[in-house]
Amino acid sequence: MISQNRRLTMKDNQAKYPQLRFKGFTDPWEQRKFEYLLDENDGIRRGPFGSALKKECFVSQSDYVVYEQQNAIYNKYETRYNITKDKFEELKKFELKPEDFIMSGAGTIGRISRVPHGIDKGVFNQALIRFRIDNRITDSEYFLQFIRADFMQKKLTSTNPGSAITNLVPMSEVKKWGILVPQINEQSKIGIFFKQLDKTITLHQRKLAKLKELKQGYLQKMFPKNGSKFPQLRFSGFADAWEQCKLRGILAERNDQITETNEYPLMSFVQGKGVTPKGKRYNRSFLVKDVDKKYKKTELGDFIYSSNNLETGSIGFNRTGKAVISPVYSIFKSKREQESQFIGIMSARKDFIFKMIRFRQGVVYGQWRIHESDFLNIDIRIPSYEEQQSIICFFEKLNKAITLHQRKLEKLQELKKGYLQKMFC
């Protein structure tokens, strides 16, 4: 039985219906206070302030631990900070139990996870907030998705009055919030649905991660390393040593600057994706006022890099075709068909990036610059043209598989986002 003080008045008890729901459910969702979902004997609780956990409380070994924010909210409970038994007993009210919900209150605010089974004799620190739900009226899977939904995340992380930074609103205020809640059987149905959807998303994330890991493995084994003339792994029929040459023997700088045209539209060079159309948010209105502004022209297969962001992936080749991009990029064309594509594959290796970084020079406003002439002077080893084509074909197929899984994952994530918007009031 739910206590009367946890209900809103009849005046506030407004009935609403979600846009999308499972067959067989027609009852209206009822407005309740947020605390209606919680265990009334505990409810929301913040971790103790840092002053409660002084250095003398910590020991090298014990059965009693403190879980930090970066571990708990990412479901990684293996990193432990040990405390004395006396301190644990003192902080007993902050003990974590399986099925508790832990949410970050600082840093990555609003992120929430459920405490797994196997957690014992542990307390949570001041950066975390614990929720314990009333299982008689709240389904745990439903609660997890409810907190993660965009509308709740925005409310939870809204800026406090007078604060210069975004932070969680006071928990005392959260308890008073009016929310719309279905009956427990509908909650359970919604929870099971999203749990299965999350499993599918996780499965695709793992497949994608394995493909990317596989690519990195091949990048290490299919190119010579440590001064060797031979790669560890190569295709049947190729046995010759890779020859040393300078990049200028393969690439030539393309420094044609033109205005944007229908044939050469203005595009972006995006980390990890290469040349791509401008996003929907991009405001092109200023171009009308500056029709004579010039950009660097690029063609299909060009090799491109940004001196500033090499380590994060602003390097690769143009898979899109004719475009103009910002003059801050360095662009090179291939002297022989597809050799720039081979260099694009090679540029994903750390040793290639390291060779480039050695030539990086500081310029005004904290920017970096690798002069095109220095880049073209870098020594590399390359196989015969025929072996290059085999390597290009192999990585093209692997990249297509990665792109396919990436798109599937993005579609599933968008699908979940859409369901969250339509299945909650």
Domains and CATH numbers, the chain: 4-188 (3.90.220.20), 243-382 (3.90.220.20)
380, pLDDT greater than 90: yes
How does residue 336 score in pLDDT terms, banded at 50, 70 and 90?
confident
Q: What CA–CA distance (Å, rounded) separates 356 from 352?
A: 7
| Mean pLDDT lowest among 44-53, 125-134, 254-263, 392-401 | 44-53
The pLDDT value recorded for residue 86 is 86
pLDDT at 11: 42
pLDDT of residue 224: 94
For residue 92, give both structure tokens.
């007993």
CA 400, 405, 406, 412: dihedral to nearest 10 degrees? 150
pLDDT at 230: 96
pLDDT at 108: 61
Say which residue, 117 or 142, is predicted with more confidence.
142
What confidence score (pLDDT) does residue 377 get? 95
- For the segment 382-409, the average pLDDT, to the nearest whole number, is 95
- Per-residue pLDDT at 57 exceeds 80: no
- Angstrom distance (rounded) from CA 221 to CA 231: 6
| Nearest in space to 243 (alpha carbons), one of 228, 222, 221 | 228
What was the pLDDT predicted at 247?
95
Q: Which residues have a Cβ under 8 Å from the Cβ of 425 and sit 6 or more positions away? A: 16, 17, 18, 29, 180
Half-sphere exposure of residue 203, counting CA atoms within 13 Å on the CB side?
8
Give the per-residue pLDDT at 75. 64
Q: How confident is the model at residue 81 (pLDDT cuts 50, 70, 90)?
A: confident
Closest by alpha carbon to 59, among 80, 76, 77? 80
Numbers of helices and strands, H then E, in the chain: 11, 23
Per-residue pLDDT, 374: 93
- CB within 8 A of 374, min separation 6: which ones? 359
Distance separating alpha carbons of residues 57 and 68, to the nearest angstrom: 15
Higher pLDDT, 313 or 147: 147
Report phi then psi at 406, rounded to 5. Answer: -65, -45
Considering only CA atoms, which of 185, 175, 237 is closest in space to residue 5?
Answer: 175
Check if the beta carbon of residue 144 is closer than 8 Å to that of residue 112: yes
Per DSSP bridges, beta strands 267-270 and 274-277 are antiparallel
Measured at the alpha carbon of residue 249, what is the angle toward residues 255 and 245, in degrees to the nearest 5? 135
Burial 327-342 (b: 16+ CB within 10 A, else e): eebbbbbbeeebbbbb
Mean pLDDT value across residues 300-308: 90
Residues 325, 267 contacting (CB under 8 angstroms): yes
Q: What pLDDT shows up at residue 156?
A: 81
Q: How far, CA to CA in Å, does 179 sit from each of 3, 8, 9, 36?
A: 17, 10, 13, 9
User: Which has more pLDDT, 91 or 210?
Assistant: 210
Q: Mean pLDDT across the stretch 41-59?
A: 71
Mean pLDDT of 338-353: 90
Q: What is the band of 155 on the pLDDT scale with cuts at 50, 70, 90?
A: confident
Within 13 Å and on the Cβ side, how many CA atoms surround 44? 17
Lowest mean pLDDT among 23-27, 51-55, 195-199: 51-55
Residue-level pLDDT at 408: 96
Stated pTM of the model? 0.79
Task: Name the pLDDT band for 190 (thresholds 50, 70, 90).
Answer: very high
Look at residue 3 in the predicted model and tell me its pLDDT.
37
**Collapsed DSSP state (helix, strand, coil) of residue 188:** helix
Give the model's confidence band at 69: pLDDT under 50 very low, under 70 low, under 90 confident, else very high.
low
Q: pLDDT band for 24, please (50, 70, 90 cuts).
A: very high
What is the pLDDT averaged over residues 329-334?
Answer: 93
Query: Is pLDDT of 286 > 80?
Result: no
The lowest-confidence range among 82-91, 164-173, 210-219, 382-391 is: 164-173
What integer pLDDT is reported at residue 206 of this predicted model?
A: 96
| Whether the predicted pLDDT of 9 surpasses 50 | no
Which stretches does DSSP call E strand in 135-246? Answer: 178-181, 243-246
Q: What is the mean pLDDT of residues 327-332?
A: 92
- Sign of the C-alpha dihedral computed for residues 368, 371, 376 and 378 taken in this order: negative
197, 199, 398 from 203: Cα distances, Å: 10, 6, 19
Per DSSP, 143 falls in state H
Residue-averaged pLDDT of the chain: 84
Q: Give pLDDT, residue 54.
A: 65
Q: What is the pLDDT of residue 138?
A: 93
